[in-house]
Chain A
Amino acid sequence: MSRRRRESYSDDEDDERSRKRRRTEPVDIEDRLESLITRVGEKSTSSLESNLEGLASVLEADLPNYKVKIMRILCGCVVDLPEKQTVYTTLVGLLNAKNYTCGGEFVEMLVRNLKESLKSGEWENARMMVRFLADLVNCHVLVAASVLQMFDNFVEVTLEDNIPQVRSDVYVYMVLSSLPWVGRELFEKKETELNKLLDTVDAYISKRQKIHVPALRVWSVDEPHPQEEYLDCLWAQIRNLRSNKWLEKQINRPYMAFDSVLCDALQHTLPQIIPPSHNDEMVYPIPRIVFRLFDYTDVPEGTVLPGSHAIERYLIEEQIDRIIHTNYKERKDCAAALLSYPVKNLPLNYMIVEVMFAQLFQLPCAPYIELFYGSTLIELCKLQPSSMPQVLAQASEMLFERIDHMHTICIERLVHWFAYHLSNFHFRWSWEDWSEVTSMDIGMPKAMFVREVLLKCMRFSYHQNIVDSVPATFTTLLPEKPASEYKYDKEGAGSLPGTMAAHQLMSAIKAKCTPDEAAQLLRELPNKFPNGEDNDNSTYHPLKIDVFVSTLLFLGSKSFSHSFAALAKFYPNLKSLAETEEAQIYMLKVVYSTWRTHQQMMVVLVDKMLRTEVVQCQAVANWIFSESMQKDFTSFFVWEILHGTIKKMTKQVNQLQSEVDDARDRLDAAKRKEADGMEIFSDDEVPTEEMIERMEERLETATSQQKNLFLIIFQRFIMVLTEHLAKCESAGIDYNTPWYKWVIERLQHIFLQHHELVFKYINTLESLLFTSDIDIHILEVFQQFCALRS
């Protein structure tokens, strides 16, 4: 009310005020239009049909003034809100019925956007636009034949020569995923043409290469659910739909209610949409496999889970995927949106959980950060405390049952999720049901899983709490209580050559000595190993490193921060002790012998030492594959350290790259200014050519280090695996041991997790390491990986 009064007052005021008001108004109206359009189809007191009718009239009235804006908003909705696609196609249909040119202009704009997306490789957006265009046939905006023509053009890509399969896949996928919407129309109006199209697709599907599939599988067996390639699965679903005369029960089609209005509308013909031709820079989406966890026997009575080849399964999963995509930044909104998805007689909880796990386990990488899945599942539990926790518990049981055949990467993600989930539920779990693991070898997947879960739980809690949470029978799997190990303080330490120096050093550090003073204390130590053996290698000094590093870590053992403070204060000493790679590896060994029982401490300390460049990435890789780490080689924290190391290296390269790019840009800008005769201000720093050259040199060094790091890692993998295979062969035993499973899948893990980088070096890898003379089992991993982009 007060607003109105203010309005009426201002009527009498001078017109500067009213001019100001006038200027802001269009923005308001545009915002209003946007809000109206984006919100239609949400829950409302009136029916969707009347809302749509009303909105169409509002928009029609505003078209003369805000046409471009309205079109743009609608095109935005096509890609941003595809979960409401049919609402928007209906709206466009209604607008087209009222205003034929407007419909035409919308189609034109959408086609322009589509072509742009195809060119720039925004495949998911393109797919949404194709689907939208297809659905416009149902609203009498487009002629069926012209959409069919677009489909034909897309499917023709399958006949191109010398293209990667992923290219034709993406075009076929766009067509197939649009068919549930438009199949019926095409079937009624253009049956023969549709059949011809499907024949081409069929021929393509049957001749596809599927080398990549093993690299993407979550499970190594097809029991109880086969893991189909995404395109194969969708094709089976589409074939099913076809045999049901293209009738499905899932899509809400508001345009049906407006049939009488829409059928009078004039239809448009699509302009030709030719897929842009292939070039080597184009990156196509990596194929997927379809993850299945539940079937109809797993869900409660009264609900029906659509079969894995029912089109409804695809449609619901796609919808859930899209809801997640829209809301993945807000777990609470996401959970609420997921649960309010309207389905009849369907076990929605189960389908949500299945899709969430499917995304979490997706290889090479989950679409969103892993924590999102955990936190959203907790929100789902809170919103439906009576059913969701049970579904999750059931899922956990099933996943555990199948863990023997689960890929290591997925086991690791499952460990992370399960420990996180437990930490939010007071670490309660029916551990007794899993007591089979207590009698297993620790290398067996189930036992390893439980152990790693407990280890991870410890990071969320503390040792004693975890000990109290599990039954007494689980003691064999319980991690040791984390504590630092300091040999110079133990009984019998007197005979060690370093004990004296260690004790002197300890009191000096306690007396707050300087780094120099600490270095003085080490000077006299002989070049021996801590156990008294002589060291013939003069490039490093094991005794000095051992005395210094173990004493320092022992004194800082109170907390992470104390350890960091210790490392920071004596940074110069560490740096000078670890000049060579051998010295760095030895230093890492000392860290490990001190903190063997505290994995998280290991992870953060190595991270710190990498960050401060006390140790190099290569040294970490070599240390991990060294003999001293053999005992823990399959432990998950080791791989956490290795992946952290690769990530650090990548970050370094990227940073140097962006520095070089930035400097280049600035120099170019300055040159341009100079050429234009403009003044250059002395305070914007313009780098000189020399400076850039130096930066480029640094970048080059970093890039070659990165390449080297990958070469070291892969070479070491090949060495340990070859050795294992040879040993098994000569002993005549099966090579496929638990150890082999962990290690070969860790190799895949490196490939997949860093796939974008590894693809850069694929030719080097092929010519240097993965040559035809290595064992086929190892080579296969490489070939499967290469197939992901071919």
Chain B
Amino acid sequence: MVLTFPNALTEEEEMLKQKYARLRKKRKQLQALKTAKPETQQKPSSQSAKRPAESAGEATEQAKKLVQSGAIKVGSGSKEKSGFKRSRNQEKRLKESDKHPAAVGFQPFSATHSGEEDEKIESPKPKIKGLYESFVTPASKFDGDQRRDRDDRRERDDRRDREPPRKGNTVYVNGVGVTEDILKRAFSNFGNIVNINVERERNNGFVTFEKTESADQAIADMNGSLVSNVQLKVMMARRQPTFESISDPSTSSWSVIAASHSQKGPARKDSRDLVTYEDDIF
């Protein structure tokens, strides 16, 4: 069962809007009649205050029906959602006629159970995205939504990354206390190593071979083995950095660098000498 909040919000928001419109109308009528006494003012507000509960009741009622009759009712549910397409009057008339069956007696029930029931109706719904939802549901504003889009994208990226590629020349090594030295010793007999990158604090490292066969061999032979008292877990690295670019300083390397997720890139040998200065004098 997939839970989607947006739908519930839509319903509620729609309801709020209707309520608000009705309130405004009432107030206007009242003002027009010039009966602005505090007592009368009270009336419409208390009257209208009941309305959400009533419509919640309606929703529950419908939910019950839906659950009973199965998925066929889904369509009717979403039709109600796009109700704004109806004219105001028609909508009001519909509401009016509904008012009577949805009696006060339903209230306690709706207050406690409506949530559950709603979830049941909603679950199959996301497939058909109502017109209204498509630009109302995300309650946030423009920017918030964009952020969500971006998050979605990142999520998708991550998911793609999570499946390790079957072929590649970089292996991922995990083991408590793993060092560059250990890796060099353990993996050098599988083939020429292009790059070793160790993250000490995370107890893992990446070894890139010249040939993919070496990587395959290394995984087959080294996974689970003990080297210098370190239990190694070896698998294909999720991200396969491309190192052949080092030998090719042409423009295609721009693409490779742009494509690599890591901003760091291969560690560059710094050939500078250490310069020492006298103590600070200023």
**Given A46-B129, A57-B84, A390-B255, A5-B135 contact (CB < 8 Å):** no
A464 to B9, CA, bound (A): 61
Which of B47-55, B169-177, B192-200, B207-215 lies on the face that meets chain A? B47-55
A61 B254 Cβ-Cβ under 8 A: no
A32 B131 Cβ-Cβ under 8 A: no
Closest Cβ–Cβ distance, residue B269 to chain A (whole Å): 9
**Given A54-B131, A54-B135, A65-B24, A430-B250 contact (CB < 8 Å):** yes
Residue in chain A with minimal CB distance to B130: A46
Indicate if A722 sits at the interface (CB-CB under 8 A).
no
**Given A8-B56, A426-B265, A44-B50 contact (CB < 8 Å):** no
A62 to B115, CA, bound (A): 29
B281 partner, pick from A18, A55, A389, A509, beta carbons under 8 A = A509
Indicate if A392 sits at the interface (CB-CB under 8 A).
yes
**Given A25-B20, A36-B135, A430-B250, A7-B52 contact (CB < 8 Å):** yes
Indicate if A680 sits at the interface (CB-CB under 8 A).
no
Closest Cβ–Cβ distance, residue B184 to chain A (whole Å): 24
A333 B134 Cβ-Cβ under 8 A: no
Residue in chain A with minimal CB distance to B8: A1
- Residues on B with beta carbons closer than 8 Å to the beta carbon of A378: 258
A7 B12 Cβ-Cβ under 8 A: yes
Indicate if A45 sits at the interface (CB-CB under 8 A).
yes
B257 A428 Cβ-Cβ under 8 A: yes
- Residues on B with beta carbons closer than 8 Å to the beta carbon of A11: 49-50, 52-53
Q: Which of A666-717 contact B (CB under 8 A)?
A: none
Which of B67-75, B93-101, B231-239, B270-278 lies on the face that meets chain A? B270-278
- Residues on B with beta carbons closer than 8 Å to the beta carbon of A382: 258-259
Residue in chain B with minimal CB distance to A565: B282
Closest Cβ–Cβ distance, residue A352 to chain B (whole Å): 15
A57 B23 Cβ-Cβ under 8 A: no
Residue in chain B with minimal CB distance to A43: B149
Which of B29-37, B140-148, B221-229 lies on the face that meets chain A? B140-148
- Residues on A with beta carbons closer than 8 Å to the beta carbon of B13: 32
**Given A11-B52, A388-B258, A555-B281, A46-B20 contact (CB < 8 Å):** no
Closest Cβ–Cβ distance, residue A76 to chain B (whole Å): 12
B281 A385 Cβ-Cβ under 8 A: no
- Residues on B with beta carbons closer than 8 Å to the beta carbon of A58: 84, 132
A431 to B277, CA, bound (A): 36
Indicate if A442 sits at the interface (CB-CB under 8 A).
no
Question: Main secondary structure on chain A at its contact with chain B?
Answer: helix
A2 to B272, CA, bound (A): 63
A18 B135 Cβ-Cβ under 8 A: no
B17 A29 Cβ-Cβ under 8 A: yes
Residue in chain A with minimal CB distance to B256: A385
Closest Cβ–Cβ distance, residue A489 to chain B (whole Å): 13
- Residues on A with beta carbons closer than 8 Å to the beta carbon of B24: 65
- Residues on A with beta carbons closer than 8 Å to the beta carbon of B253: 425-426, 428
A425 partner, pick from B114, B136, B257, beta carbons under 8 A = B257
A510 B134 Cβ-Cβ under 8 A: no
A61 partner, pick from B88, B136, B259, beta carbons under 8 A = B88
Indicate if B182 sits at the interface (CB-CB under 8 A).
no
Contact flags A1-32 to B (C-beta < 8 A → 1, else 0): 11111011101000100100010010001011
**Given A40-B135, A426-B265, A4-B114 contact (CB < 8 Å):** yes
